A and B are shown apart, each in its own frame.
Chain A
């Protein structure tokens, strides 16, 4: 990217303008995500930087909104903060129970999506797979079909089969989230399987390994990074999903995005920003994990970055 010595003045000017433009676009990408972080420590119930905050006056900052995340919905939020206070928060605070629901739903839908998706990806990446193109298109379609159409379809479907009477909590939402997560698993796992050397499995079979042993000892270690990435994608999809939960989730199935959605529509408070900050930190952690996995996978498969 360095400028050659013989570049003309015009080219130099353009080169630096270009870099400035790029910097501005990167700022556009990242600023909205970073701006919520300091604002979530606002001492005032405003969504903008107060004068005190700009002067870095400590009294302009507070953790009151984080505190509110804990106390909102508690039976006795003002009791002394002992063991019983935390027990109260754990069982009654609205955001904590939303987090619990989100994690339970995310966990089971991820297991379902990753399990089914990985096995299907193995089949899809075999050269002899029949009708590959059509089947792939069907399996990826949950990502393409507008979420509102999926949600309305599931709303009618679940009420016609009466899924809420089956006595399995979260079942409808878990199945729906698994469906939404599957395309991501398929994409990431088939991507790791591209260029997979099938003579490895043949060699394993040749040496007397049955298909399950071959999968467990030869294929799985090689595709594991892709599987974990896909699982993380599936989890994030479920963790972030609100429309399906709004349409098919029971009243007691409050998740973090649903709680946020209600918060944004009704009584928007900076508490939402503190949730947002926590979610951004979680996504940074997930992104780092996926990035490390990708590098590991590239190393394993011998396609290291140049």
Chain B
């Protein structure tokens, strides 16, 4: 502004004499603030009821105070536990074999555990990494008062597992509430006695396999939805709107129908005594004794999920195909291209954005699917979400569930970011 003045130009002002630039900036920041204030309530709502809870849950994947803190359920009073042992771990580096002071610290902590009625919680925390440890703690705590020095001998007499170096390694890790061990477990890895990361025993490797299966099935489902959606999206795009709007109902109705209803329908159709098998047997294609097993396995998951996610592929494809000008293909044909070449070189490249949008969306939704695999998947049609639910509800290893969830969420957020970059969230269409 001062330069302009120096040049001797007349400064533009508003009617009340303010410099125009300033007034404009004020008006703009005012408009900005007003737009932001409109969004603020919802943003706060989502941050409190959605982002914060998920963040809090993910914290459990690196933080588990089962071996460090006891919280009384009634009063909420927090008491640190295993303090003596923690002190010994601090004084002695990893790999030191436990001596008499270590066992004495352990015995003192066990007495405290018994007083707090917390041996179960501490044992459970160790049990996550070394199965069978929970009963070790509950048994020892029951007799903690009667332990006499030398404590090492007394504890080993109680159960010789107390001398297991692996147990001491796990206790050392667990004596700090923050740990990366659950992420290691979620990737089929553990630590050896020196704290180095190694793969777990081959017959206990489940999670990497499951991640791979989830990835493979999601890719397969994405591919199948693409193969099925492409022809009908094309048909819908080239028909006159009067007809295509009618046919569109056939795509939108499944979209609006309850997920559970669609899954139930597939259970009805695919059962060994179900409609599909009955039809095949009735037509004589299949013998009554060798009915196809199409449910409670991967096939069931793939069929049902392909059906359920198909509209998410058709809609973006359709919205890209509709505005494609048919004269391009006609021009290619008149220049001598066969219909295949015209499709391959002229039509198909124009639909690639739609394929990308649909494929990303279907893949993102498929990777996190829970309900359908849970109902029709059987044992080998389960996806990673089902395992998270298992650790939440059955095995109660919440930290492991959180670690698995964090890995899944991380992957999905990367894809989501990619989707926003390539497609733009604004272009998400629902019918």
Residues of A within 8 A of B (CB): 1, 11, 14, 18-19, 21-22, 25-26, 28-33, 35-36, 39, 46-49, 116-117, 119-120, 122-124, 126, 128-130, 133, 135-142, 144-150, 152-158, 160, 175-176, 178-179, 182, 184, 187-188, 190-191, 194, 233, 236, 239-240, 242-243, 247, 257, 260-261, 264-265, 268, 272-273, 276, 279-280, 283-284, 286-287, 290-291, 294, 305-306
Would you call A260 and B260 a contact (CB within 8 A)?
Answer: yes
Q: Whole-angstrom distance from the CB of A173 to the nearest CB of chain B?
A: 12
Candidates A39, A119, A128, A147; contact of B368 at CB < 8 Å: A147
Is the C-beta of B380 less than 8 angstroms from some C-beta in chain A? no
Of B102-110, B147-155, B202-210, B273-281, the one touching chain A: B273-281
Would you call A33 and B254 a contact (CB within 8 A)?
Answer: yes
Would you call B339 and A136 a contact (CB within 8 A)?
Answer: no
Would you call A283 and B258 a contact (CB within 8 A)?
Answer: yes
Candidates A26, A236, A260; contact of B232 at CB < 8 Å: A26
Contacts of B42 in A (CB 8 A): 116-117, 119-120, 139, 182
Is the C-beta of B379 less than 8 angstroms from some C-beta in chain A? no
Nearest B residue to A122 via CB reads B38
Nearest B residue to A146 via CB reads B368
Candidates A35, A284, A305; contact of B268 at CB < 8 Å: A35
Is the C-beta of B98 less than 8 angstroms from some C-beta in chain A? no
Is the C-beta of B167 less than 8 angstroms from some C-beta in chain A? no
Candidates B39, B41, B46, B368; contact of A124 at CB < 8 Å: B39
Given contacts A35-B268, A119-B42, A179-B49, contact A128 B32 (CB under 8 A): yes
Would you call A261 and B368 a contact (CB within 8 A)?
Answer: no
A138 and B431 alpha carbons, distance in the complex (Å)? 22
Contacts of A305 in B (CB 8 A): 241, 245
Residue from B37, B55, B265, B310 whose CB has the most chain A CB atoms within 10 Å: B265
Residues of B within 8 A of A (CB): 28, 31-32, 34-39, 41-43, 45-47, 49-58, 60, 228, 231-232, 235, 238-239, 241, 245, 247, 249-254, 256-269, 271, 273-275, 278, 307, 310-311, 339, 364-365, 367-371, 375, 385, 388-389, 392, 398, 401-402, 405, 408-409, 412, 416-417, 420, 425-426, 428-431
- Cβ contacts A to B, 10 pairs, < 8 Å: A26-B250, A30-B253, A35-B268, A48-B273, A48-B275, A123-B39, A141-B416, A153-B50, A153-B54, A236-B256
Contacts of A286 in B (CB 8 A): 256
Would you call B253 and A264 a contact (CB within 8 A)?
Answer: no
Would you call A120 and B368 a contact (CB within 8 A)?
Answer: no
Contacts of B258 in A (CB 8 A): 239-240, 257, 276, 279, 283
Nearest B residue to A280 via CB reads B257
Contacts of A240 in B (CB 8 A): 258-260
Contacts of A153 in B (CB 8 A): 50, 53-58
Contacts of B257 in A (CB 8 A): 33, 279-280, 283
A162 and B268 alpha carbons, distance in the complex (Å)? 41
Contacts of A287 in B (CB 8 A): 249, 252-253, 256
A273 and B36 alpha carbons, distance in the complex (Å)? 47
Residue from A25, A31, A268 whose CB has the most chain B CB atoms within 10 Å: A25
Would you call A137 and B401 a contact (CB within 8 A)?
Answer: no
Candidates B260, B278, B420; contact of A49 at CB < 8 Å: B278
Contacts of B35 in A (CB 8 A): 123-124, 126, 128-130
Contacts of B252 in A (CB 8 A): 287, 291
Given contacts A157-B57, A243-B370, contact A25 B231 (CB under 8 A): yes
Would you call A273 and B251 a contact (CB within 8 A)?
Answer: no
Contacts of B417 in A (CB 8 A): 137
Would you call A120 and B231 a contact (CB within 8 A)?
Answer: no
Would you call A1 and B235 a contact (CB within 8 A)?
Answer: yes
Contacts of A30 in B (CB 8 A): 250, 253-254
Given contacts A48-B274, A142-B46, A283-B253, contact A152 B39 (CB under 8 A): no
